[in-house]
Amino acid sequence: MTIEKGVFMCLMFILLSNPLASGADVLKVASFSTLLTEIAQKVGGNHVNVAGLVKPGQDPHEYQPTPDDLKQAADAKLILLSGKHIEHYLDKIQQATGGKGESLSVGDALPNLKMKADPDEPQEKAAADANGMIDDPHWWNSVANVEKATTVVRDALIKLDPANRADYESRAKAYLTKLEALDQWAKRKVAELPRDKRKLVTSHDAFQYLAKDYGFKVYAIEGVSTETEPSDRHIAELIDQIKKQQVKAIFLESTLNPKVTVEITRETGAKIGGTLYADGLGEGDGSTYDGMIRHNIETIVDALK
């Protein structure tokens, strides 16, 4: 790089960087959820500097914080956690931060659905109740939940930075208006599908919250985790169900190996309906929450019609 080009790049960097975001009075936020990263950025605007530690496309079930991630969490005034027991590394965060900064487990403030714990996963087994059930962590697949999460994040920012209350309130309101429009669009799109065709077969049980909002019944190939392979017996049962329910299409997920799914389609004649974003934001359409929901709903409805 020439000196001129170097100076130019530096100037561009200064111009493009938000002057507020590098200032001392900006609120540092560390987020362990791609959805909460988006919400914090939308609601916080120039008043916050959000470190998104779980990256788009990363599997939040398998994510482990790096030393640098933990350092960023320790530097943050507000730590946003997805909650519902998905962060099985809370002890590491606690250790790194020493309890400094406010930890907010956003999902824990939202309505809860239960799902079967995977007995092969020690973390899940430990968290399970007497009936072997755990909290379903995939709250972000409900737009109504994301609306509620937005108000939780808004209130946390106001509490830590009351001087900018009016800004947080108006930014949250604008984002909530968009979410409400998204929910209305999703309802209209799902209405194209007769109730008896609202059967969702996906490669891990991540869509209970979406199913509840829009009247689908879920048949999952795996349990909550993406780490374990489904048993032969579970696959056989599922093949049986798909045939019996005359399900037209099943869906893959962007973070999963499609091998088992392909096997099931071969046995049942159901087609692959497409790839869904199950575990948060990703690449392409799913790089924003609006895009992610539109992609998922459109893919499901169009394949089952």
Nearer to Zn ion, 87 or 279 (CB): 279
Nearer to Zn ion, 52 or 101 (CB): 52
**Counting contacts by CB under 5 A, is residue 115 touching Zn ion?**
no
Rounded least distance, CB 100 to Zn ion, Å: 30
User: In whole angstroms, how large is the CA radius of gyration of the chain?
Assistant: 21
Question: 179 is written with which tokens?
Answer: 């979410």
Rounded least distance, CB 294 to Zn ion, Å: 20
> Could you give the residue ranges of the DSSP H alpha helices within 2-132?
3-16, 34-44, 67-75, 90-97, 122-127
For the window 270-299, what string marks contact with Zn ion as x by the rule CB under 5 A?
Answer: ---------x--------------------
Rounded least distance, CB 238 to Zn ion, Å: 18
Quote the CA–CA distance of 301 and 162 in Å, as a whole number. 43
C-alpha pair distances (Å), 196 with each of 193, 231, 273 = 8, 28, 17
Quote the CA–CA distance of 40 and 56 in Å, as a whole number. 15
Cβ(13)–Cβ(124) under 8 Å?
Answer: no
Rounded least distance, CB 143 to Zn ion, Å: 17
Nearer to Zn ion, 44 or 223 (CB): 223
- H helix or E strand, kind and range, residue 132: none
Q: In a 3-state reduction of DSSP, which class is residue 30?
A: strand
Helices (H) and strands (E) in the chain, counts: 11, 10
For the window 92-111, what string marks contact with Zn ion as x by the rule CB under 5 A?
Answer: --------------------
**Counting contacts by CB under 5 A, is residue 206 touching Zn ion?**
yes
Rounded least distance, CB 160 to Zn ion, Å: 30
Nearer to Zn ion, 206 or 220 (CB): 206
Nearer to Zn ion, 206 or 238 (CB): 206
* Binding stretches for Zn ion (CB under 5 A): 206, 279
